[in-house]
Structure 1
Amino acid sequence: MSYVALQHYRSTSHYAGVVEATPHKRVAMLYDGVIERLMMARGAVLRGEVAVKLRTLDSALAIVEHLRLGLDRDAGGAIARNLDALYDYIGRRLVEANARDRVETLDEVLALLRQLKSAWDGIAPSH
């Protein structure tokens, strides 16, 4: 299978998985995606690959913003307000990590996101 065909397969199969996923699963997928991109960005910083770092951090920031915009502030109350503040903090830390090539800052953000993902997985609805 050619690289282009493989990328197309991954893209369409990933899209189908998102469409069929429950809202809870979609959020879990967003957490997985942002964690994956931050790990790629971390490696890029260590290797001095500026273009990869910029692309993956940009993508990670977009996911964090998507998570933030998806909050239901009316129904979510204090939890939504706290998540909003945490997502804002994460976004600011990612901008700082990008500007200063700080792996430690990326590690901090990764730890926060892994905790959020773990908590989210812990409240998965049973079917």
Structure 2
Amino acid sequence: MVQQHYQAYKNNSVNTASPGELTLMLYNGCLKFIKYAKKGIEQGDIQLKNTNIQKAQNIINELMVTLDQGAPIAKEMLPLYDYVNHCLIQANIKNDLESLMEANRVVEEFRDTWKEVLKQTRTQQYTQGAKA
């Protein structure tokens, strides 16, 4: 019963999230899967590692595909996403914890920067709304 309510809440939060919030959810999901993959490498659980690295790669691929190519920042972000994907591949093929942690570091930077952008955007919207 609790699981059903939680799933309904999760579905509702995704369905009502702004594009910016969805991007933040993707970054957080990617970090969660990297954490599980790390556990898989540390425990010698190849299935856990492989499954979660693939999930993290799927998120990075989604971020690459949905990147607004017209935005000036896209030219800088695309190679970084590609780099993260490369690190994830290396981590999966070689059970390389260092590559996995490098991917984690870059995604954390993206997430933290994106969180700050969302906070500033909300503050601006709130301030502009209060003036109207």
* Fold match by TM threshold 0.5: yes
Q: 2:104 aligns with which of 110, 113, 119?
A: 110
Q: Tell me the amino acid that sits aligned with residue 110 of structure 1.
A: N
Query: In structure 2, do the counterparts of structure 1 residues 61 and 10 end up closer, same or farther at CA, with 3 Å as the change threshold?
Result: farther
Following superposition of structure 1 onto structure 2, how do residues 1-127 of structure 1 map, counting pairs within 5 Å?
1=1, 6=3, 8-74=4-70, 76-77=71-72, 79-124=73-118, 125-126=121-122, 127=126
Shift of residue 10, structure 1, vs aligned partner: 3.7
Matches of 1:61 and 1:33 in 2, distance apart?
Answer: 11
- Aligned structure 1 segments of 4 or more residues deviating by more than 6 angstroms: none
Structure 2 unaligned spans of 5+: 127-132
Structure 1 unaligned spans of 5+: none
1:73 aligned counterpart, secondary structure? coil
RMSD of the alignment, in Å? 1.3
Shift of residue 93, structure 1, vs aligned partner: 1.2
TM-score normalised by structure 2 residue count: 0.86
Q: Tell me the amino acid that sits aligned with residue 19 of structure 2.
A: P
Matches of 1:50 and 1:11 in 2, distance apart?
Answer: 28
Q: Tell me the amino acid that sits aligned with residue 49 of structure 1.
A: D
Report how many aligned residue pairs link the two structures: 121
Matches of 2:56 and 2:28 in 1, distance apart?
Answer: 10
Counterpart residue number, 2:129: none
TM-score normalised by structure 1 residue count: 0.89
Structure of higher CA gyration radius: 2
